[in-house]
Chain A
Amino acid sequence: MVKKKKLLMGSSIGISLMFIIIALLMYSQDKEMIPQQVSVILYGNTIDRWESLKQGIDQASQDSDVEINYVLMSTTHNIEEQLLLIQREIDNGADGILLAANDSEMDLSTINLPYKNFPIVCIESGVDNDNITLVSADNYSMGENLAKVVKDKENSIAKIAIIMENQQRDSVKKRFEGFYNQITEKFNNLTYWERETGENTPMLFVQRELTQEAVDVVVALDNTSLEAVIDATINLNKKVKIYGIANSDKAVYYLDNKKIKMLVYQDEFSIGYIGLKTMLGEEQYDKEEITQYIKYYTVNDSNLYLPEIQRVLFPFVK
C-alpha cells in the first residue's frame, strides 16, 4: 500500500515537472533573446580608417545576433587610455572584447576580468601575451612583399627612407622586420625617419624630414604614416616615390591618383569577421594558422579595379 502511494506520488511529481518544463519552454519561446554585448576597442581616434574591419565585424555580428559597441581613443597613442577603456567596457557588462592594441607591450594583467577565461581577441595588432589570440594578416610577409616590389621597381642606388612610426605595435614592427630583411638584399642606402619631441603630428615630422633629407623613395608601414607622407609631399610639392602598407580610403584614392606607387592592402573585412567569430567560438579557425585565412594584396594603379581587388579594397557604402 505504501509502495503504491509512493509510486503514485512519484508519478504525480514527474507529471507536474513535465508540465513545468513545457510551460518554461513555451515561456522561453516568447521571451526575446538578449544578444551578447561585444566591445570593439580600436586604436586611433577616427572610425573612418576602420570601415572594412567594421563591415566584417558587423556582418559577423548580424550572423550571430551579437550587439557591437565600437570604442575609439581620444588620443592617437596612449596605453593607459586604452587600458582604461578596456576596463570600462568590461565593467559596463561587455561579454567580450575585440582589441586593436595601440601598444603591444600593454599589460592586460592589470585588467580586472569578471572571470578567468573572459574572451579577449586582438585584431590587426596584438599584445605580448600568448594566451590572447591575434587575428591579423601575415605582417612579416606583407613587409617582405612590399620590399620585393621596391626591389623590383627601383634602382639599387636609390635612397630609401623608412618611416619609423608606430613601432610599438607588433603589426608595424613585423612589417618593418620583413621589409628590412628583404630590402637590404639590394639597397644599402636606407634612412630611418623618426619623430622628434614636440612634433605633434606625423605629417609635420615627415615634412621636416623631407625638407632636411633628399630621398628617392619613402616607405610607410602603417596607415597614419602613409597618409602623413602623402599630405607632406602634397604640401611640399615633393616628387618622391611612395610605397606603403595601409587600408584607408585616402590611401586607395592616392594610389588611384598615382601619388602612391604601390600599396600592400590587407583584407580587414576578414580580420573583423574572423575576429568576432573566433571570439564567439563559432568558427573553428586554427589559431596557429590564422594568417592563412586573411589575405593581403599588392595593389598598384593598373590592378586596382580588377574585380577580385576592388571587392576587397572598396567597402560597400550604405
Chain B
Amino acid sequence: MINEIKKLINYILGVYRCRSIQFTISISFTAISIISMSFVGLTLYEKYIENSKQLVTQKNKQLIDQASLNLNTYIRNLMNISDTMYYSVIKNKDLAYEDMDKEMTLLYEANKDNLISIACFDEKGNLIAASPVASMKDEVLPEKQDWFIQANLKIENLHFSTPHVQDLFNDSNFRYYWVVSLSRVVSLTYEGNTSRGILLVDMNFSDIEQLFSKVNTKGEGYVYLTDSEGELIYHPKQKVIYSNLMKENNQEAAQYEDGNHMEYFEGEERAVVVKTVGYTGWKIISVTPIKEIAINLNQFKYFTYIVLAVSIIVIIIGNIVISEKITNPIRKLEHSVKDLENGNLNSIIYTGGSHEIQHLGRTIYSMVNQMKHLMDDIVKEQEEKRKSELDALQSQINPHFLYNTLDSIVWMVESQRYQDAISMVTALASLFRISLSKGKNIISIHDEMEHAKNYLKIQKVRYKDQFNVVIDIAKEIEEYSTIKLIVQPLLENAIYYGVESMRDEGIITIKGYETENDIYIEISDNGMGIPKEEQLLLLTDNSRARKKGSGIGLINVHQRIKLYFGEEYGLQIKSELDEGTTIVIHLPKVKDREGAK
C-alpha cells in the first residue's frame, strides 16, 4: 500500500516536473492559495459555528429564564389563591356553624381563567365545599388519589401533581379537564375542634401549555417541563410521547444540575439547559439538537462554500493570467530559439518581457548575429574558392588556345602566307575580344558562335581546308546565355581527334536548337569515333593525359557547365566507331541580359 502511494506521489511529481513553467507556476500558486484559503475558511467557519452554538445556548438560557419567571409568577398566584383560601377563609371558619361556599366561589370567580376548581375535603375524603358547584361522582375516592396522599405526606408544604385528568365531579357535557393539582393539608375547625383536611386547587393544564407554547415558538429546539422526579408536566410533543411514537430523555435530564449540559440521546447530540423552578422543584429543560443548529448554519455553510469557490476560481484565473504574463516572454524566446534550431538564422529573436528575459534575448540575438557572420564568411569563402577554381579552369584554356593559334600563325608566316596570317591574326583578335568579353564569364550563344566561327576560320587556314564546317544554329537560341568558350574546345577536339587524320574530307557540324526549357548545341564530326570504354572516362577521369591539342578535355567544359548551371546540365557523348562522334552541350534556357537589353 505504502509503495503504491509512493509510486503515485512519484508519478505525480514526475508529471509535475515535466510540465511547462506556466503550468508549474499556476498549479503551485493555486494549490498554495486553495490550501491557505480552505484553512482560513474552515477555521473561520468552525469559529462561527462555535459562536453560533454559544449564542443559541445563551438565547435558550434567556428563554428558560423568561419561562421560569412566568411559571414562578403563575405558581405564586396559585399558591396565593391557596393561601388566601386557607388563611383568610378556612382558618377563620368553624364549619359546624358556617360554610365557606361564598368565599370559595368568589375566589374561584376572581381566578377562573386559571382554575378548573377549588375544593376542600375532610381527612376521610368527604367533600366539604367546591367551586364551581358540582356534584361529586358517586364512586370516586379522593383519599385514594395521589394528590390527596401526597398532600398528607407533606404536611407543611404544598404539593404540585403532574398533569392528570380530573375525575372528581360530574360534567354533563362529557368534558374532562387536564389539570395540575395543588393540594395542601389544612386545619378544619368543627365546634372549636380542629381536624385535618385537604384543600385542592386544580390549575388548568392548558395555561401551562400556553405559557410554554409561547416559549417554544421562539428559537431552535424546544423547552419542556418535568417534576423533580422527571415525570413530564409539559412537553411540546407530550401526546406523541404518551403514544410511544417518540422518546424523551426526561428521567435523566431531571437529574442534571442547573446549567448547560451536552447529552447524547437516541444517537443525537443535544445541547441542554436546565433550570429548577423554585418551591415546586420542577425542572425547565431546554433542548437544542446540534443538528438543528447545523441546519440553520447550512445556509451560511453553503454561502461560505460558494464564496470559497468563487475566490478559488478568481485565484485560478489570476494565477493563469500572472503566470502567463511571466512565462509568455520565455515562451516567445523559446519559439524564436526553436526557429533557430530549425535552421532559420533569419528568425527574429524576441527581446521583450522582463529585464532578465530582455538580457537573455539580446545575448542570443548577438550570438546568432555572430554565427550568421561566421556562416556568411564561410559561404563567401566557398564562393571565392569556387570562382578561383573556375578561373583556374578558364585560365587553363587560354594558354593552350593561344599556343595552338600562334602556332598556326607562325606556320603561315613561315610558309609566307601573309594574307592568311593577317586574316588569322584578325580572327584571333576577334577571338580574344569575345574571349575577354569585358571579364564576363556569361555571354550570349550568338557571341559564343562568333567565337567558334573565328576559331574555325583560324583552324581551317591552318589545316588547309582539310574539313568542312556546317553551322546550323537556330536563330531563336542566339539570345540565350552560355558560359563562354565551351564550343571552341569541342571543335578543337573534333579537329584533332575526328577529322585531322582522315583521308577523306572531314565534316564538322554545329547544330543548335531549343526544347521547351533547354538548349542543345551538338558538335559532330565524321571521324573514327570513340570506343565505348573511352567515352565513359572522357567526362569523369580528370587525370587522363592528352595526346594532342590544347590538352583541355571535355571534362573541363563539362565541369564548368555543371559549376555554373547545375548538375543536370553538361555534356553528353554519342559516338560510333568509324562513323563519328557527336558531343551534345546541354544548357538551361537563360536569357542573355545584355542581349535582352
Q: A8-B317, A312-B243, A314-B178 are in contact. Are A18 and B165 (CB under 8 A)?
A: no
A:43-69 near B, CB below 8 Å? 55-56, 59, 63
B174 partner, pick from A7, A253, A270, beta carbons under 8 A: A253
What 10 pairs between A and B have smallest CB-CB spacing? A311-B242, A253-B174, A249-B174, A270-B243, A18-B310, A11-B317, A310-B165, A314-B165, A314-B176, A250-B174
Question: Interface residues, chain A, CB within 8 Å of chain B?
Answer: 4, 7-8, 11, 14-15, 18-19, 21-22, 25, 29, 55-56, 59, 63, 249-250, 252-253, 256-257, 267, 269-270, 273-274, 293, 295, 304-305, 307, 310-318
Q: Which residue of A lies closest to B178 (CB)?
A: A316
Q: Are B205 and A307 in contact (CB under 8 A)?
A: no
A18 neighbours in B (Cβ, 8 Å): 306, 309-310, 313
Interface pair A15/B314, CB less than 8 Å apart: yes
B contacts with A: majority SS: helix
Query: Does B415 touch A at the CB level, under 8 Å?
Result: no
Please name 19 pairs of A and B residues whose Cβ atoms are closer than 8 Å in the assembled complex, sorted by A.
A4-B324, A11-B313, A15-B313, A18-B309, A19-B310, A25-B306, A56-B239, A253-B176, A273-B240, A273-B245, A295-B243, A295-B244, A304-B167, A305-B164, A313-B165, A316-B206, A316-B238, A316-B239, A317-B176
In the complex, B302 has a CB within 8 A of chain A: yes
Q: Beyond A15-B310, A18-B313, A25-B306: 5 further Cβ-contacts under 8 Å?
A: A11-B317, A18-B306, A273-B243, A316-B206, A318-B206
Chain A residue, CB-CB nearest to B146: A307
B313 and A316 contacting across the interface, CB-CB below 8 Å: no
Taking the complex as formed, is B543 at the interface, i.e. its CB lies under 8 A from any CB of chain A? no
Q: How far is the CA of A19 from the CA of B175 in the complex (A)?
A: 60
Bound state CA distance, A271 and B310, in angstroms?
49
Query: Which of chain B's residues 152-166 have a Cβ closer than 8 Å to chain A?
Result: 164-165
Q: Does B517 interact with chain A (Cβ within 8 Å)?
A: no
**B256 adjacent to chain A (CB < 8 Å):** no
Contact A59 B309 (CB under 8 A): no
Question: How far in angstroms is the closest Cβ of chain B from A83?
Answer: 31
Q: A15-B313, A249-B176 are in contact. Are A269 and B239 (CB under 8 A)?
A: yes
In the assembled complex, which residues on chain A have CB atoms less than 8 Å from the CB atom of B45? none
B306 touches A22 (CB 8 A): yes
B residues near A8, Cβ cutoff 8 Å: 317
Cβ of A257: which chain B residues have Cβ within 8 Å of it?
170
Distance in Å: Cβ of B321 to nearest Cβ of chain A? 8
Residues of chain B lying within 8 A (CB to CB) of residue A304: 167
B453 → A minimal CB distance (Å):
68
Given known A-B contacts A25-B299, A253-B174, A59 and B306 have beta carbons under 8 A apart? no
- A191–B58 Cα distance when bound, in Å, is 68
**Shortest distance from the beta carbon of A38 to any chain B beta carbon, whole Å:** 18
| A7 / chain B contacts, CB cutoff of 8 Å | 317, 320
Distance to closest chain A CB from B165 (angstroms): 5
Which residues of chain A come closer than 8 Å to B206, judged between CB atoms? 316-318
Query: At the interface, is chain A mostly helix, strand, loop or mixed?
Result: helix
Listed in ascending order, the chain B residues whose CB lies under 8 Å from chain A are 137, 164-165, 167, 170, 174-178, 205-206, 209-210, 237-240, 242-245, 299, 302-303, 306-307, 309-310, 313-314, 316-317, 320, 324
Taking CB as reference atom, which chain B residue is nearest A277?
Answer: B245
**A316 contacts B310, CB within 8 Å?**
no
Q: Are A21 and B209 in contact (CB under 8 A)?
A: no
Most A Cβ at <10 Å: residue of B164, B174, B245, B302: B245
CA distance A274 to B246 in the complex (A): 12
A278 to B178, CA, bound (A): 29
Give every chain B residue within 8 A of A310 (Cβ-Cβ).
Answer: 164-165
Give the nearest-CB partner of A63 in chain B.
B237
* B307 neighbours in A (Cβ, 8 Å): 22
Compute how far the CA of A18 lies from the CA of B240 in the bound complex, rounded to whole angstroms.
44
Query: Given the interface contacts A293-B245, A317-B177, A318-B209, does A59 sit within 8 Å of B310 by beta carbon?
Result: no
Q: How far is the CA of A229 from the CA of B458 in the complex (A)?
A: 164
Least Cβ distance of B574 to chain A in Å?
63
Residues of B within 8 A of A270 (CB): 243, 245
CA distance A48 to B205 in the complex (A): 20
Q: Are A249 and B175 in contact (CB under 8 A)?
A: yes
- In the complex, are the beta carbons of B242 and A14 less than 8 A apart? no
Which residues of A are found within 8 Å of B164, using beta-carbon distances? 305, 307, 310
Contact B175 A317 (CB under 8 A): yes
| Structural contact, A29 and B299, CB atoms closer than 8 A | yes
Q: Which residues of A contact B314 (CB under 8 A)?
A: 15
Residues of B within 8 A of A15 (CB): 310, 313-314
Q: Which of B175, B205, B206, B317 has the most CB of A within 10 A?
A: B317
**Docked CA distance A56–B178 (Å):** 17
Q: Contacts A22-B306, A293-B245 given: A55-B174 contact, CB under 8 Å?
A: no
Nearest CB of chain A from residue B547's CB, rounded to whole Å: 74
Q: Which residues of A contact B237 (CB under 8 A)?
A: 59, 63
Contacts of A19 in B (CB 8 A): 310
Q: Tell me, rounded to whole Å, the shortest Cβ–Cβ distance linking A7 to chain B.
A: 7
Instruction: Indicate if the CB atoms of B306 and A21 lie closer than 8 Å.
Output: yes
* Chain B residues, CB < 8 A from A317: 175-178, 206
CB distance from B116 to the nearest CB of A (A): 10
Of the candidates B178, B302, B307, B316, the one having the most CB atoms from chain A within 10 angstroms of its own CB is B178
* In the complex, chain A residues whose CB is within 8 Å of the CB of B167: 256, 304-305
Measured between alpha carbons, how far is A29 from B170 in the docked complex, in Å? Answer: 53
Bound CA span A8–B137, Å: 87
| Beta-carbon contact of A252 and B243 below 8 Å | no
Interface-centre pick from A19, A269, A311 (highest chain B CB count, 10 A): A311
In the complex, how many angstroms separate the beta carbon of A27 from the nearest chain B beta carbon? Answer: 12
List, in ascending order, chain B residues with CB within 8 A of A311's CB: 239, 242-243
Chain A residue at minimal CB-CB distance from B321: A8
Q: Which residues of B contact A293 (CB under 8 A)?
A: 245
- B306 cross-chain contacts in A, Cβ below 8 A: 18, 21-22, 25
Q: Which of A14, A21, A295 contacts B313 (CB 8 A)?
A: A14
Which residues of chain B come closer than 8 Å to A313, judged between CB atoms?
Answer: 165
- The residue on A at minimum CB distance from B171 is A253
A305 touches B240 (CB 8 A): no
Cα A22 to Cα B303 in complex, Å, equals: 7
Q: Can you name the residue of chain A whose Cβ is closest to the Cβ of B170? A: A257
**Please, how many angstroms separate the alpha-carbon atoms of A313 and B165 in the complex?**
10
Closest residue on chain A to residue B306 by CB atoms: A22
